């Protein structure tokens, strides 16, 4: 039994989430509910594995271990029901960096990338940084989240310069866990038009019961030749600082070319402790993950009750996946810079929904924290809104 109500303070550890307020904004005592990492201690088996490695005392050049690669294969089979071959795996230092390499490899400068908004900003910022044009195909959000397959096919039919779809599975920020049928319909279209799908599945392990994650590589093998799956233990076990992730690429020539580019750029040069962290987490983290998901789900349910009581005009449904609540504040007369006011005056930081595109009025709230942190942050949201006259 793990205790998620208690966690070590991250202040003073060069923590992106908590340590930037005083140095960057001259602020103190801000409750951080924004960026997508957890405030929980990682599984103790992970810490022990890294301590054992550190005690060896020599940290020279290190190759991926067989244990590390086998841990990925076993995890993907056990949790996502897909069969991964060792030769399909390319280790990388991060999902976004791998996305950059894949786009540069697959999309020529005069070709385009499709994304479905609202979505994690690097989906459109990364192609733009490579001077690749981005084509937007917004999701249908009401009455329920779904892919606009009609619009998607129209865009692909009329623009043959679109070569890649970057897809979020499960979806950040809306928390949608896609069904096999939804993914099949998507892949039928991408296959018809020769589109390669980059499937970001970094949130794959964060799906709430009774649902189960459906991997893009688990839909139908006939589509796997044009899929690059990006996965990692970093969201699952709070290991972003370890810089360890991986690409799964069944297409042999595509995988070989990606691996060549990754080696040349240093993308596949993994921190020595990253190998240890991934292997320990995937081999020993099942029970921790189950309990962590239960805790996060209860935080999501608590948030729903809090909003119903204190902010009844907010629209929010407990998501199917991720630890990120996607809350619509548009029922209140709050300004466009609402998130900035909360940070500087309310001393609580949420993630401004505008950064995800097609999501004015939304705020993303990180619920992967001790309940006391979430309660304190949300109480500060209410207090600030009352002080500003947005809530009676």
Q: What is the pLDDT along the chain (392 residues), one digit of tens a residue?
A: 899 999 899 999 999 999 999 989 999 999 999 999 999 999 999 999 999 999 999 999 999 999 999 999 999 999 999 999 999 999 999 999 999 999 999 999 999 999 999 999 999 999 999 999 999 999 999 999 999 999 999 999 999 999 999 999 999 999 999 999 999 999 999 999 999 999 999 999 999 999 999 999 999 999 999 999 999 999 999 999 999 999 999 999 999 999 999 999 999 999 999 999 999 999 999 999 999 999 999 999 999 999 999 999 999 999 999 999 999 999 999 999 999 999 999 999 999 999 999 999 999 999 999 999 999 999 999 999 999 999 98
Confirm if 377 and 385 have CB atoms less than 8 A apart. no
Examine residue 3 and state whether it is found in any structural domain, yes or no.
no
Confirm if 41 and 50 have CB atoms less than 8 A apart. no
> Are both 301 and 260 inside the same structural domain?
no
> Whole-angstrom distance between the N-terminal and C-terminal Cα of the chain?
42
How many angstroms separate the CA atoms of 284 and 162, rounded?
42
Q: What is the DSSP annotation of 130-165?
A: TT-EEEE-PPB-SSS-B--HHHHHHHHHH-TTEEEE
> Are both 172 and 97 inside the same structural domain?
yes
CA atoms within 13 A on the CB side of 227: 29
Q: Is the full-model pTM beyond 0.85?
A: yes
> Are both 154 and 262 inside the same structural domain?
yes
| Cα→Cα distances 125→104, 115, 128, 139, 261, Å | 13, 11, 5, 18, 21
> Are both 300 and 202 inside the same structural domain?
no
Spell out the residues 6+ positions from residue 64 whose beta carbon is closer than 8 angstroms to its own. Answer: 91, 270, 275
Q: Where do we find the tokens 């990253």?
A: 274
Q: Which residues pair with 199 in a beta bridge?
A: 167, 229
> Are both 254 and 361 inside the same structural domain?
no
Spell out the residues 6+ positions from residue 126 whose beta carbon is closer than 8 angstroms to its own. Answer: 96, 99, 100, 103
> Are both 262 and 342 inside the same structural domain?
no
Going by C-alpha positions, the residue among 126, 227, 117, 214 that lies closest to residue 169 is 214
- Total domain count, the chain: 2
Examine residue 14 and state whether it is found in any structural domain, yes or no.
no
Examine residue 50 and state whether it is found in any structural domain, yes or no.
no
> Are both 237 and 377 inside the same structural domain?
no
Going by C-alpha positions, the residue among 95, 18, 3 that lies closest to residue 366 is 18
Examine residue 347 and state whether it is found in any structural domain, yes or no.
yes
**77: domain CATH number?**
3.40.640.10
> Are both 191 and 77 inside the same structural domain?
yes
- Give the range of the structural domain holding residue 263, as residue numbers without chain letter: 58-284
> Are both 63 and 176 inside the same structural domain?
yes
């Amino acid at each position: 039994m793990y205790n998620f109500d208690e966690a070590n303070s991250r202040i003073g550890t060069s923590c992106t989430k908590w340590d930037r307020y005083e140095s960057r904004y001259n602020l103190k005592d801000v409750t951080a509910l924004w960026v997508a990492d957890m405030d929980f201690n990682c599984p103790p088996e992970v810490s022990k594995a890294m301590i054992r490695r550190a005690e060896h005392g020599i940290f020279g050049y290190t190759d991926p271990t067989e244990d590390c690669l086998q841990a990925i294969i076993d995890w993907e089979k056990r949790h996502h029901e897909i069969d991964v071959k060792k030769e399909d795996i390319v280790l990388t230092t991060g999902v976004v960096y791998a996305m950059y390499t894949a786009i540069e490899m697959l999309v020529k400068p005069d070709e385009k990338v499709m994304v479905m908004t609202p979505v994690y900003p690097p989906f459109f910022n990364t192609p733009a940084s490579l001077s690749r044009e981005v084509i937007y195909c917004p999701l249908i959000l009401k009455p329920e989240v779904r892919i606009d397959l009609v619009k998607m096919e129209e865009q692909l039919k009329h623009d043959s310069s679109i070569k890649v779809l970057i897809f979020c599975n499960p979806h950040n920020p809306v928390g949608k866990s896609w069904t096999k049928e939804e993914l099949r319909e998507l892949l039928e279209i991408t296959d018809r038009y020769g589109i390669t799908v980059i499937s970001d599945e970094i949130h794959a392990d964060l799906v709430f019961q009774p649902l189960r994650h459906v991997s893009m590589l688990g839909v139908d093998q006939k589509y796997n030749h044009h899929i690059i799956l990006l996965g990692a233990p970093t969201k699952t076990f709070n290991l972003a600082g370890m810089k360890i992730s991986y690409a799964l690429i069944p297409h042999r020539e595509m995988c070989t070319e990606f691996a060549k580019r990754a080696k040349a750029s240093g993308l596949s040069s993994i921190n020595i402790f990253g190998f240890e962290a991934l292997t320990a987490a995937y081999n020993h983290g099942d029970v921790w993950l189950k309990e962590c998901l239960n805790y996060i789900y209860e935080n999501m349910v608590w948030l729903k009750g809090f909003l119903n009581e204190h902010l009844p005009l907010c629209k929010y449904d407990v998501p199917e996946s991720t630890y990120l609540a996607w809350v619509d504040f548009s029922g209140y007369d709050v300004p466009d810079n609402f998130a900035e006011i909360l940070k500087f005056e309310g001393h609580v930081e949420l993630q401004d929904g505008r950064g995800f595109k097609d999501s004015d009025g939304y705020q993303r709230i990180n619920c992967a924290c001790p309940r006391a942190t979430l309660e304190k942050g949300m109480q500060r949201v209410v207090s600030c809104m009352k002080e500003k006259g947005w809530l009676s």
